[in-house]
């Protein structure tokens, strides 16, 4: 975990113990660094088992194949939460760096937290009424700032970024007015009344900045906000733009922060063309490990990432739509060194057959074991045509496959 005088990166930033066991047994680490820790230049051999139709939900590290086990005993929900999620879950979740709770906002239900033991979800006590009034957490980030824990939510439903301290709203960022950023094209877009639709948010501790991506709008940008004179404000770097306008993005949809070769890198998942880009905090494109001179990671055909999660040396990308070989339902794609190394297909599990469109994924470690909290999105149009799919939350454990 990296620290400076006032900031600490999220507690997700460590080598997971189940991987550390492999490293101690003589398997070398990868040159990629995610979530605030660095690795040596040696290479961890990662082989893909995702193409094996008998193992649709596995990933492999070294000589060990891991399978995802659905833990139906974890993540218990109230009837009200399950009903609200089923009808409109369009979310991601993240882990509080101090309490280890996993949090998200369910539209028309409220701010909910999964306890540190992953046993059950409950409404956060004494939360601001705003959380139950229609906002969602299309993107979520929990982070430490000035030694305090913040929960940030990018709400596509209400067009705002909401920052809170355990349910107490401390800031709401709405559309920029124009003039806040170093990029005059982006300033003009907002000065002319351009749509603001935040898809995801992450805190970059070295830059002391919130980075927000806005893919659901003609202005397909990455925007910066900072804590200035006691308030969170839009200011500083902004970059991007749609491919049709000469930019790199085709619906920037997920954003995370990592460290590569000692430098803080902002990673952006761009949905429509299935790519992951890296940038510094000023918007200069950075080469991601495993990429060519193009710098970005090109995901397999049909990949439409709705979010981006980092844990250990892997990226976890919940996909909106099925891949050619995922039996008509969408997976969570697992990528290392720019290449797919496995997947999780929630709809393949008993009782989860209606998790057709993956939207969120949060990877956490408990007692040396890796768990994944997967969130699916309900497609109302498909439901009207008789193809049922639900908004659901399910928890999986990574276990060594026999």
Please report which confidence band the pLDDT of residue 46 belongs to, taking 50, 70 and 90 as the band edges.
Answer: very low
Are 163 and 143 in contact by the 8 Å Cβ rule? The answer is: no
> Measuring CA to CA, which residue among 340, 268, 267, 256 is closest to residue 303?
340
Q: How far apart are CA 194 and CA 200, in angstroms?
A: 18
Question: Is pLDDT of 29 > 80?
Answer: no
Cα 90 to the center of its chain, rounded Å: 13
- The H-assigned helical ranges of 290-386 are 380-384
- Contacts with 104 (C-beta within 8 Å, 6 or more apart), sequence order: 91, 92, 93, 94, 111, 112, 137, 140, 360, 375
Q: How far apart are CA 101 and CA 103, in angstroms?
A: 6
Please report which confidence band the pLDDT of residue 35 belongs to, taking 50, 70 and 90 as the band edges.
Answer: very low
Please report which confidence band the pLDDT of residue 33 belongs to, taking 50, 70 and 90 as the band edges.
Answer: very low
Please report which confidence band the pLDDT of residue 402 belongs to, taking 50, 70 and 90 as the band edges.
Answer: confident
Domain boundaries, the chain: 90-174
Please report which confidence band the pLDDT of residue 60 belongs to, taking 50, 70 and 90 as the band edges.
Answer: confident
Please report which confidence band the pLDDT of residue 41 belongs to, taking 50, 70 and 90 as the band edges.
Answer: very low
Are 119 and 113 in contact by the 8 Å Cβ rule? The answer is: no
Helix (H, G, I), strand (E, B) or coil at 323: coil
User: Between vectors from CA 315 to CA 76 and to CA 285, what angle results, nearest 5°?
Assistant: 135
221: phi then psi, degrees, rounded to nearest 5? -125, 170
The predicted structure's pLDDT at residue 43? 25
Instruction: Convert the pLDDT of each residue in 347-363 to its tens digit.
Output: 999 999 999 999 999 99
Instruction: Convert the pLDDT of each residue in 281-334 to its tens digit.
Output: 999 999 999 998 889 999 999 999 999 999 988 999 999 999 999 999 999 999
The predicted structure's pLDDT at residue 6? 28
> Measuring CA to CA, which residue among 67, 63, 59 is closest to residue 342?
59
Q: How far apart are CA 41 and CA 297, in angstroms?
A: 20
Question: Is pLDDT of 18 > 90?
Answer: no
Q: How far apart are CA 126 and CA 121, in angstroms?
A: 16
The predicted structure's pLDDT at residue 28? 30
Instruction: Convert the pLDDT of each residue in 104-137 to its tens digit.
Output: 999 999 999 999 999 999 999 999 999 999 999 9
Please report which confidence band the pLDDT of residue 42 belongs to, taking 50, 70 and 90 as the band edges.
Answer: very low
> Measuring CA to CA, which residue among 342, 314, 341 is closest to residue 46?
341
Helix (H, G, I), strand (E, B) or coil at 381: helix
User: What percent of the chain is predicted at pLDDT more than 70?
Assistant: 86
DSSP state letters, 146-190? TTEEEEEEEETTTTEEEEEETTEEEEEE----SSSBS-HHHHHHH
Q: Which pair of structure tokens corresponds to residue 241? A: 């733009």
């Amino acid at each position: 975990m990296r620290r400076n005088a006032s900031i600490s990166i999220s507690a997700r930033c460590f080598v997971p113990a189940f991987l550390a066991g492999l490293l101690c047994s003589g398997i070398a680490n990868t040159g990629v660094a995610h979530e605030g820790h660095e690795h040596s230049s040696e290479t961890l051999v990662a082989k893909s088992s995702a193409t094996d139709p008998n193992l649709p939900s596995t990933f492999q590290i070294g000589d060990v194949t891991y399978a995802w086990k659905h833990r139906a005993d974890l993540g218990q929900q109230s009837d009200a939460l399950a009903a609200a999620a089923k009808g409109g879950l369009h979310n991601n979740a993240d882990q509080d760096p101090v309490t280890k709770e996993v949090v998200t906002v369910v539209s028309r239900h409220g701010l909910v937290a999964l306890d540190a033991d992953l046993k059950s979800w409950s409404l956060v006590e004494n939360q601001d009424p705003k959380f139950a009034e229609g906002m969602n957490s299309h993107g979520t980030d929990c982070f430490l700032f000035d030694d305090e824990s913040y929960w940030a939510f990018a709400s596509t439903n209400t067009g705002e970024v909401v920052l809170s301290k355990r349910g107490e709203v401390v800031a709401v960022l709405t559309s920029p007015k124009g003039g806040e950023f170093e990029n005059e094209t982006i300033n003009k877009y907002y000065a002319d009344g351009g749509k603001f639709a935040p898809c995801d948010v992450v805190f970059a501790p070295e830059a002391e900045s919130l980075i927000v991506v806005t893919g659901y709008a003609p202005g397909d940008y990455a925007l910066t906000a900072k804590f200035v004179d006691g308030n969170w404000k839009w200011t500083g770097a902004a970059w991007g733009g749609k491919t049709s306008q000469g930019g790199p993005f085709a619906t920037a949809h997920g954003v995370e922060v990592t460290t590569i070769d000692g430098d803080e890198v902002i990673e952006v998942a761009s949905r429509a063309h299935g790519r992951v880009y890296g940038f510094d905090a000023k918007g200069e494109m950075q080469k991601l490990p495993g990429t060519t001179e193009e710098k970005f990671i090109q995901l397999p055909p049909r990949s439409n990432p709705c979010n981006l999660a980092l844990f250990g040396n892997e990226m976890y990308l919940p996909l909106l739509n099925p891949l050619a070989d995922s039996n008509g339902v969408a997976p969570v794609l697992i990528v290392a060194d720019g290449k797919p190394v496995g997947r999780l297909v929630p709809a393949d599990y008993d009782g989860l057959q209606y998790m057709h469109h993956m939207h969120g994924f949060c990877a956490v470690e408990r007692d040396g074991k890796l768990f994944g909290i997967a969130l699916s999105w309900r497609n109302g149009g498909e439901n009207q045509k008789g193809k049922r799919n639900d908004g659901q939350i399910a928890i999986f454990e990574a276990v060594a496959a026999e």
